[in-house]
Amino acid sequence: MKIFQKKKSFLKDNLLTILTVVGVFGGVILGISLRSSTDPWSKRHIMYLEFPGKIFLRMLKMLIVPLLVSSVVSAVGSLDLSLSKKIAFRSIGYYAVTTVLAVTLGIILVVTIRPGAGLSEKFGNETSQVQSVRNVLTQDTLMDLIRNLFPPNLIQATFAQYQTVLVAPPKDDSDPEKEIPLTDYTITNRYENTTNVLGLVVFAIILGVALGMMKEKGKTLLNFFQSTSEAMMVITRWVIWFSPVGVFFLVAAQVLETKSFAGLVEKLGLYFMTVLIGLLVHCFITLSILYFLVTRKLPFKVLGGLSQVLVTAFGTASSSATMPLTIQTLDDMGIDPRVTRFVIPVGSTINMDGTALYEAVAAIFIAQFRKVPYSFGQLIAVSITATFASIGAAGIPQAGLVTMVMVLDTVGLPSSDISYILAVDWLLDRFRTTINVIGDSLGSCIVDSLSKNELSKMDDIDRLNADPHELVEIAKADSHV
Ligand code: ASP
């Protein structure tokens, strides 16, 4: 009887997760069975199929800007400056260490497994060109990253970010074949249609610090942001019930769109496995050891508690879209909200271990099968650019693929080469997004554990300030002793 009741409560507690997992597998099955239908599916029909999934993504994305800004302002504003500085340093230290470890692991794996060796014949003359890739220098991409930290207009930052564009000068009539180097292109710019999350995070941190320093005078605005953040969490709890249906249609449409599986396995199978092994080792060895060293606990309970978050990350391939759910779940697990509301929004923007590892592996893989030699110095350069490329990648589907242009550049490969790995990228993206989210979540547990004493001391001070009688009682008790 007891066992039956236990089973029932397990089902009740995990109903949503179970349904979402069913959604993922159901989506794969539907996608595969629709692929075997005789008539090929047109782009329009695929668009109809993924429509419910896209609506789910839009609902999640709707929450990102208000949640991100209000969470960061309220987390930073409710701590005193020295403590928010400590939490920020601990988080950034954690982001840096884990990203560097992930990139190093990726490089070690790709250099030892050599997934690209002997593949050049298999790719043959496949010179599919990706036209939409931008032609810019690595320094342009890095400077854009810094420019976007300081958006000149906050309203614009909610929907657009700065991007350098290099325009080719007219060809020399006497020698039209002559290649013009990118450094001679005309420098212009445009505002790309994506939220400048990094700029918003920077402003939110600054505003939070200012409100914290203003003490009583800043209280009203701080309460506003705290209340907005709570309201977004309430909406998240509603939206998340759509996740089984949403991921079902997103995954089905994606599987349907994928061309030949057999051909892909032959060419990209080993590359795929190299990235996957790297992601698993990073999660179950590197991050788990780090978590154990700090908290003295094994991470499996936390990972189990995060299952709904992880399935959503896999289904949406977006750490930003998963962010509301990540914060809510960690709050429910008892992690201090002042920590989660800083570590998760900032982490989902800049801390992408999975993406960093994948960028390094992919660039070296392409160099291997194109038979482009790379030196040890270049491997170091790849690690550095892959780290920046992961910081610059937005938490949206396949953003890593775009910033990889910069990593390819360090081994002297043209940006159009990303077309070689395009076919499996949608699936790898889902795995690396899941690891990105795990990295942020374990990070907030680690920072929480490191900051426990200071946070509880601060709570005591706040309590005493709110109730001076308690202070008198303590003083009395002390004098009796
Ligand atoms: N989709 C990933 C994320 O949202 C970014 C990427 O690697 O493309 O975390």
Taking all residues of the chain, what is their mean pLDDT, rounded to a whole number?
87
pLDDT classification of 131: cutoffs 50, 70, 90: very low
* Structure confidence at residue 6 (pLDDT): 65
Residue 245 has pLDDT above 70, yes or no: yes
Q: Given CA atoms 341, 345, 348, 353 in this order, what sign does their dihedral have?
A: negative
Are 242 and 58 in contact, with CB atoms under 8 Å apart? no
- Return d(Cα 89, Cα 94) in angstroms, integer: 8
Residues of the chain above pLDDT 90, percent: 50
User: Residue 39 CB: number of other CB atoms within 10 A?
Assistant: 6
Nearest to 358 by CA among 391, 318, 386, 394: 386
Residue 130 has pLDDT above 80, yes or no: no
Q: Considering only CA atoms, which residue is closest to atom 2 of ligand 1?
A: 433
Contacts of residue 114, defined as CB under 8 A and 6 or more positions apart, other chains included, come to 368
Ligand 1 mean position to 413 CA, how many Å? Answer: 22
Are 200 and 158 in contact, with CB atoms under 8 Å apart? yes
pLDDT classification of 456: cutoffs 50, 70, 90: confident
Residues of the chain above pLDDT 70, percent: 90
Residue to mutate (ligand 1; options 61, 314, 432, 440; most atoms within 8 A of CB):
432
* Structure confidence at residue 263 (pLDDT): 67
- Return d(Cα 406, Cα 141) in angstroms, integer: 7
pLDDT classification of 293: cutoffs 50, 70, 90: very high
90 lines ligand 1 (CB under 6 A): no
Residue to mutate (ligand 1; options 195, 319, 357; most atoms within 8 A of CB):
319
Contacts of residue 427, defined as CB under 8 A and 6 or more positions apart, other chains included, come to 272
* Residue 334 Cα to chain centre, angstroms: 23
326 lines ligand 1 (CB under 6 A): no
HSE-up of 336 (CA within 13 Å, CB side)?
24
Return the ligand 1 atom nearest residue 352 CA: 9
What average pLDDT does range 4-22 have in this prediction?
Answer: 77
Return the ligand 1 atom nearest residue 402 CA: 8
Ligand 1 mean position to 78 CA, how many Å? Answer: 30
Nearest to 331 by CA among 457, 462, 448, 222: 448
392 lines ligand 1 (CB under 6 A): no
Nearest to 307 by CA among 8, 19, 9, 50: 19
Beta bridge partners of 191: 162
For 279-302, b/e burial (b = at least 16 CB within 10 A) is bebbbeebbbebbeebbeeebeeb
What average pLDDT does range 202-227 have in this prediction?
Answer: 93
Residue 51 has pLDDT above 90, yes or no: yes
Higher pLDDT, 137 or 467: 137
Return the ligand 1 atom nearest residue 400 CA: 8
84 lines ligand 1 (CB under 6 A): no
171, amino acid identity: K
Ligand 1 mean position to 432 CA, how many Å? Answer: 7
79 lines ligand 1 (CB under 6 A): no
317 lines ligand 1 (CB under 6 A): yes
Residue 127 has pLDDT above 60, yes or no: no
Ligand 1 mean position to 198 CA, how many Å? Answer: 15
Lowest mean per-residue pLDDT among 146-155, 235-244, 283-292: 235-244
* Structure confidence at residue 139 (pLDDT): 85
* Structure confidence at residue 121 (pLDDT): 65
- Return d(Cα 116, Cα 270) in angstroms, integer: 8
Lowest mean per-residue pLDDT among 99-108, 331-340, 421-430: 421-430
Are 418 and 404 in contact, with CB atoms under 8 Å apart? yes
HSE-up of 475 (CA within 13 Å, CB side)?
6
Q: What is the dihedral of CA 382, 387, 391, 395, to 10 degrees?
A: 80
pLDDT classification of 255: cutoffs 50, 70, 90: confident
Angle value at C-alpha 313, between 309 and 318, nearest 5 degrees: 135
User: Residue 11 CB: number of other CB atoms within 10 A?
Assistant: 10
pLDDT classification of 132: cutoffs 50, 70, 90: very low
Residue 135 has pLDDT above 60, yes or no: yes
Q: Considering only CA atoms, which residue is closest to atom 3 of ligand 1?
A: 395
pLDDT classification of 285: cutoffs 50, 70, 90: very high
Residue to mutate (ligand 1; options 349, 396, 424, 426; most atoms within 8 A of CB):
396
pLDDT classification of 339: cutoffs 50, 70, 90: very high
Lowest mean per-residue pLDDT among 122-126, 141-145, 393-397, 422-426: 122-126
pLDDT classification of 124: cutoffs 50, 70, 90: low
* Structure confidence at residue 116 (pLDDT): 87
Three-state secondary structure readout of the chain: CHHHHHHHHHHHHCHHHHHHHHHHHHHHHHHHHHHCCCCCCCHHHHHHHHHHHHHHHHHHHHHHHHHHHHHHHHHHHCCCHHHHHHHHHHHHHHHHHHHHHHHHHHHHHHHHHCCCCCCHHHHCCCCCCCCCCCCCCHHHHHHHHHHHHCCCCHHHHCCCEEEEEEECCCCCCCCCCCCCCHHHCEEEEEEECCCCHHHHHHHHHHHHHHHHHCHHHHHHHHHHHHHHHHHHHHHHHHHHHHHHHHHHHHHHHHHHHCCCHHHHHHHHHHHHHHHHHHHHHHHHHHHHHHHHHHHCCCCHHHHHHCHHHHHHHHHHCCHHHHHHHHHHHHHHCCCCHHHHHHHHHHHHHHCCHHHHHHHHHHHHHHHHHCCCCCCHHHHHHHHHHHHHHHHHCCCCCCHHHHHHHHHHHHCCCCHHHHHHCHHHHHHHHHHHHHHHHHHHHHHHHHHHHHHHHHHHHHHHHHHHHHCHHHHHHHHHHHHHC
Q: Considering only CA atoms, which residue is closest to atom 1 of ligand 1?
A: 397
Return the ligand 1 atom nearest residue 398 CA: 8
* Domains along the chain with CATH numbers: 15-450 (1.10.3860), 454-481 (no CATH)
Ligand 1 mean position to 138 CA, how many Å? Answer: 20
* Structure confidence at residue 467 (pLDDT): 67
432 lines ligand 1 (CB under 6 A): yes
Residue 41 has pLDDT above 90, yes or no: no
